[in-house]
Amino acid sequence: MIRGKKGLKVESGNSVSEMGVWIQAARPKTLPAAISPVLLGTAFAIADDAFHALAFACAILGSVLIQIGTNFANDYQDSARGADTEARKGPTRVTQAGLVSAEAMKRATVIAFSLAFIAGIYLIVRGGWPILVVGLLSIASGVAYTAGRYALAYTGLADLFVLVFFGPVAVGGTYFVQALVLPSEVIVAGFGPGLLATAILLANNVRDINEDRAANKRTLVVRFGRGFGVGFYATCILGASFIPLILVLWTSGRSWALLATAVALGLGMPLASTLRGTDDPMVLNPLLGKTAQLLLVYCIVFGVGRMLG
């Protein structure tokens, strides 16, 4: 891994541009976790004749920028803490690999979060102080994910953060900035993507359990073992599959939403089986992207089902 005059060596035999390095640092495979709950909240707004195009655009832009800022902060902090080393099983982290300086990554983090706040200004004007609070908490949590003495990812609290902020907060916030009201069923629906986003984190933590333990990164998987992490992953998929059923029973209809249950079970359980059956990083690395794809498909199907209901 070297910096060359014509490009940057990221993987053996592969040369990419400086832009390619920043794209890699943004971790595009994680972005469905930011986009999916916004799509689901918007689908509920459309179904209730409350769609607002500008609010939707600002919400999805802000969500993606917060995710990218969190990824940048994570890249820098994990390198500084020694959690990312040359022995890591996952994709190259650009700060640890020396492809981007620590100072440049810190500046990029500030820029990403600042742009996210700018994208949210209209939402704050439209939705008032609750949106300001949610936005500031989202950014603060993104920073605190790996920064500080009690960093979420190092204390085992990251799973709860992901469940809440990529679930009810993201879905409910997206709906609210469009409809300016927040029905309880939207909050319940948000737990579906929240659970699947948590599964993405678990797939990462199960793969990295040995490296995280060595770096004193006390994830839930490190605290309770690989078997717990695999079981928790499967539980998140099963839990997401029950959310549409709960809403159908609660609202006495909207049965098309149950198609999302079939998606979660049909696509998700084979992924859980793969996670259970191997610790080969060559097999587990693609599992993160596949879980993110599952989240995106689930939210699209769930949303379309809600609109057809």
Q: Count the neighbouring beta carbons within 10 Å of the beta carbon of residue 43.
A: 25
Query: Model confidence at 171, in pLDDT bands (50, 70, 90)?
Result: very high
Looking at residue 53, what is its pLDDT?
Answer: 97
What's the half-sphere exposure (Cβ side, CA atoms, 13 Å) at 203? Answer: 30
Q: At what angle do helices 53-81 and 129-144 cross, to 10 degrees?
A: 20
Token pair of 8, please?
């940057």
Q: What is the pLDDT of residues 239-278, one digit of tens each?
A: 999 999 888 888 766 677 778 888 889 999 999 999 999 8
Task: List all residues 6 or more positions away from 53 whose beta carbon is below 8 Å from its beta carbon.
Answer: none
Average pLDDT over residues 212-240: 91
pLDDT one-digit tens code per residue, 65-82: 998 988 888 877 777 665
Identify which has the larger pLDDT, 188 or 149: 188
Closest CA to 173 of 112, 127, 109: 127
Over residues 147-173, mean pLDDT: 85
C-alpha dist (Å) from residue 301 to 5, 103, 107: 46, 42, 38
Sequential DSSP letters for 124-149: HHHH-HHHHHHHHHHHHHHHHTTSST
| Cβ–Cβ under 8 Å, residues 243 and 190 | no
Position 88 pLDDT exceeds 80: no
What is the pairing mode between strands 14-16 and 8-11?
A: antiparallel
Looking at the chain, the whole-number percentage of residues with pLDDT higher than 70 is 87
- Report which of residues 169 and 211 the model is more confident about: 169
Q: Can you give the pLDDT at residue 18?
A: 80
